[in-house]
Amino acid sequence: MASTVENISRATIRFAGDSGDGMQLTGTQLTNTSALAGNDVATFPDFPAEIRAPRGTRAGVSGFQVQFASEDIFTPGDQLDTLVVMNPAALVTNISDLRSGGLLIVNEDNFVDKEFRLAKLESNPLDDPDMDQYRVIKIKMTLLTRTAVEELELSNKFADRCKNFFAMGFVYWLYNRDLQPTLDFINAKFGSKPEIAGANEKALKAGYNYGETTEAAISTYQVEKAKLKSGTYKNIMGNQALAWGCITAAKLSDKDLFLGSYPITPASDILHELSKHKKFGVRTFQAEDEIAAVCATIGAAFGGHMAITTSSGPGIALKGEAMGLGMILELPMLIINIQRGGPSTGLPTKTEQSDLLQCMYGRNGESPLPVIASRSPADCFETAIDAWRVAAKFMCPVIILSDGYIANGAEPWRIPDYDALEKIVIEHPGERSEDEPPFLPYKRDDNLSRPWALPGTKGLEHRIGGLEKEHETGNVSYDPDNHEFMCKMRQEKIDKIADFIPELEVDGEQSGDLLVLSWGGTYGACTTAVTQCQAEGLSVSHAHLRFINPFPRNLEALLGNFKKVVIPELNLGQLQKIIKSTYGVDAAGIHKVKGRPFTVSELLAQFKEVVG
Amino acid sequence: MSTELPVLKPADFGSDQDVRWCPGCGDYSILAQMKKALAAQGFPREKTAFISGIGCSSRFPYYMATYGMHSIHGRAPAFATGLKSARPDLQVWVITGDGDALSIGGNHLMHAIRRNVNINIILFNNRIYGLTKGQYSPTSEIGKVTKSTPMGSVDNPLTPLSVAVGCGATFIARTIDTNVKHLAATLQKAAEHNGASFVEVYQNCNIFNDGAWKYATDRATKQDNVVELEHGKPLIFGADSNKGIRLNGLNPEVVELGSGIAEDDLLFHDAEAPEPTMAYLLSRMHQPEFPEAIGVFRQIDAPVYDDQLNAQVAAAQEAAPNAVLNDLFNSGNTWEVE
């Protein structure tokens, strides 16, 4: 045993190495193990767009950050308490995030001249005098791992692939984590390949035992269970939660689910996840391109399925024309945009919130669509269900905005009881006989929604299309007054959704000096920073938008209750533009486009500056 | 009271909308023959859907009393794939043109065909852009003088049926707007085929490209310029049925019957050949060197996309008849918080 066990309330750890070093797996395992230990967890995977960027280079560094805590947390943490680096490139690209006094764990075997050259370093960065501010633990991980798996007689190349498990084992010792969940994982994942399972298990235990036997001259840490709301929990990632939310929404509305999709980072995992769930009536169509994906989705919606399409900014750009068609057809469907760094191909694996204006306005003609944004990985589940409720009730495509940070991040999800969820009631008009008056496909109900008449229903045969249609009959119409009437009608329908969605809630006082207005994946950082402001006695409140189109009906009044409004966004001020132009409010903005989420400390500093 | 189902007449398949194609357009004939083919087939009107893209031909769904969608340019095969995958009980038709299918929509056409989605794709080929008022199309002949090519076009045209062969089409046919009996029969065969059916219709645009198919439609010349394919029969054509197509190695040649050449020496059409080689060869026969073939080039049985997609869902449901979402939610590692 180490000499002392220190009780701490939270810890932030990052694993960084080559993109082939298995850092994502290592981080995921520590996350799951910590969640099972009852901690609250939040993660931030950060990896290059290339599958195997050149080995040893700075561009090829892949990282996975996790914060686990005995209290509610909303972010993966700002500064690192512990940084594990597998090579010099990982050290130089990550060291600035390690707090002074933090623990730096180094795979010493990779700190050699060849690796310095690959990382474009003149000398060993560990010799830098700045390193004195950290507690550095050098471990010959490659050598120790080879020795640990020696009896399995694997090649060095093969043995070296296990060194991430060694690093994991050492960190498990350091934070008093239970090895069993990861041993179970190894068995489940590699059980059919005993030599791989055996090697990984040996490496994991060797890392743990190395900490214990060398005592590494440090104390170890213990993070107690978090006090979460009672219930059964599991760890869930954003894209998985979106997929499950869609399946659930389909079941709640007694529909089969159809996904039309084209692979794109960071949305593809929704396609992968949904393709596994055919037994719940899920059909997935991997289309030839983004356009075909959304068009097939519209076709399936016409046929009566709960139809969805998933993509990211560049794909949404391609889908634009068809989204406009979906809007004028007035068919329900979900269009899911997992935002990434833009413009153009941009930063495919990094996060950003810069597709808001695209989703709001990126179509020809007057083409309003509801936009709903999820705020965290677990929240994606509810977001999908809420979006489908709106789509089905108001007969329109609904855009869901998520982002790479939410999509790949994980957090504990309080598992709902399916049977307790509110059903989504959808009614389709029934058969009509020849002597009844003709069916009117664009006759509207109190919500201004038209009927969802399904092909196959006798007497309801009708034609829909992209040309302007006459009120009620849906027949093609070039009449100028009708066109204006229909444009306004479609807008009014979307505006009416505000009566259906909840009012915006304020965290903190209902009026005061500063309102922080946020949306999407910045929820966690904003919540944490505002809570700290409030703890310091500042008059700062927080409101987080779920619906961006339409806005909650009390938003305007709320904005007027505060002396100042600030809108933090991972873009150059897109919500800010909309708020300013919609309400004439002089809202300030906090903007960041670095492909990374806000840190709590940078928000805190800026909130304080704005509030003065 | 009669227990017989009412029999629908061709007129019952027409909607109440005024048809707005130019007077004399070849589309009228295709519309009329489609109604006839559907009436003859007896498939329920409410189970039939027409999906189109953009262009003159793509107004077609508005004129049918079935379900229909006038979608966006070039994408009709993708909409149809989604609809048919979700609703295999429907008979789904795609109406498209040479610009819609082969220019902007080339990708979707290719993939709907290679997947073998059970839809019927009818391509109205008039070798011109009509709705945008007369630019050359991907099937226009080289040197075509149009509004956008005042000195003549320099791009090679596509042969739609060769494209279909290249995509592995399981049903390929060609017919002509004015040959009404052949047209109606071909549409019916396309409907009966299980899998993606691809039909090219030579269609005259009397405003922007009048007479594009004159050689194949004029009473005086058509028999010399068109050879009608029939499965298992030799390729014979000509006003006096005295000419035929013979294979010389891998090349077709036009021969005169008699003078030592008998019917048995000619190429016999085999629409069901497993390899599409002959279908391709026939699709490459162009005027003026060769008569152009009409009829069914190829018709083979092959697995159908939407059947297989739905079979996978059915198999998964059969294997887990009691699947409930609560089991999914609680799968993997979970923990309790008191």
Check pLDDT > 70 for residue A3.
no
pLDDT band at A1 (very low <50, low <70, confident <90, very high): very low
**Cβ-Cβ contacts under 8 Å, A320 against chain B:** none
Q: Does ipTM come in above 0.90?
A: yes
Decide if B71 and A256 are in contact by the 8 Å CB cutoff: no
Check pLDDT > 50 for residue A383.
yes
Of B90, B309, B315, the CB nearest to A455: B90
Closest CA to A338 of A295, A400, A381: A400
Decide if B310 and A476 are in contact by the 8 Å CB cutoff: no
Of B15, B72, B78, the CB nearest to A287: B78
Q: What is the 3 state secondary structure string of A188-243?
A: HHHCCCHHHHHHHHHHHHHHHHHHHHHHHHCCEEEECCCCCCCEEEEEEEHHHHHH
Q: What is the pLDDT of residues A146-184, one digit of tens each?
A: 999 999 989 999 999 999 999 999 999 999 999 999 999
Check pLDDT > 80 for residue B212.
yes
Q: What is the 3 state secondary structure string of A235-286?
A: EEEHHHHHHHHHHHHHHHCCCCEEEEECCCCCCHHHHHHHHCCHHHCEEEEE
Q: What is the pLDDT of residues A46-85, one digit of tens each?
A: 888 888 889 999 999 999 999 999 999 999 999 999 999 9
Question: Other C-beta atoms within 10 Å of A31: how many?
Answer: 28
CA distance B282 to A357: 52
Of A233, A296, A297, the CB nearest to B334: A233
Q: Please, what is the average pLDDT of chain A?
A: 96
Instruction: Specify the length of chain A in residues.
Output: 612
Question: Other C-beta atoms within 10 Å of A470: how many?
Answer: 17
Q: DSSP assignment, residue B100? A: I
Decide if A231 and B108 are in contact by the 8 Å CB cutoff: no
Q: How many CB pairs under 8 A join A and B?
A: 202
Q: What is the pLDDT of residues B87-140, one digit of tens each?
A: 999 999 999 999 999 999 999 999 999 999 999 999 999 999 999 999 999 999
Identity of the residue numbered A127: D
Q: Please give, rounded to a whole number of angstroms, the shortest distance from the CA of B337 to a CA of chain A.
A: 5
Q: What is the 3 state secondary structure string of B180-217?
A: HHHHHHHHHHHHHCCCCEEEEEECCCCCCCCCCCHHHH
Decide if B61 and A281 are in contact by the 8 Å CB cutoff: no
Closest-approach residue (CA) in chain A for B105: A292
Decide if A292 and B67 are in contact by the 8 Å CB cutoff: no
Which of B15, B56, B83, B330 should be substituted to probe chain A, the one whose Cβ sees the most A Cβ atoms within 10 Å?
B83
Check pLDDT > 90 for residue A462.
yes
pLDDT band at B3 (very low <50, low <70, confident <90, very high): low
A186 CB contacts (<8 Å, ≥6 apart)?
A165, A197, A200, A201, A204
Q: How far is CA B248 from CA A302, A312, A596, B234, B268, in A?
A: 51, 55, 68, 15, 13
**Cβ-Cβ contacts under 8 Å, A461 against chain B:** 45-46, 65-67
Decide if A304 and B86 are in contact by the 8 Å CB cutoff: yes
Check pLDDT > 60 for residue B2.
no
Identity of the residue numbered B314: A
Identity of the residue numbered A395: M
Which of B18, B43, B63, B79 should be substituted to probe chain A, the one whose Cβ sees the most A Cβ atoms within 10 Å?
B79
Closest-approach residue (CA) in chain A for B13: A461
pLDDT of residue B186: 98
- The pTM assigned to this predicted structure is 0.95
| Percent over 90 (pLDDT), chain A | 93
Which of A72, A288, A318 should be substituted to probe chain B, the one whose Cβ sees the most B Cβ atoms within 10 Å?
A288
**Cβ-Cβ contacts under 8 Å, A296 against chain B:** 78-79, 81-82, 85
pLDDT of residue B276: 96
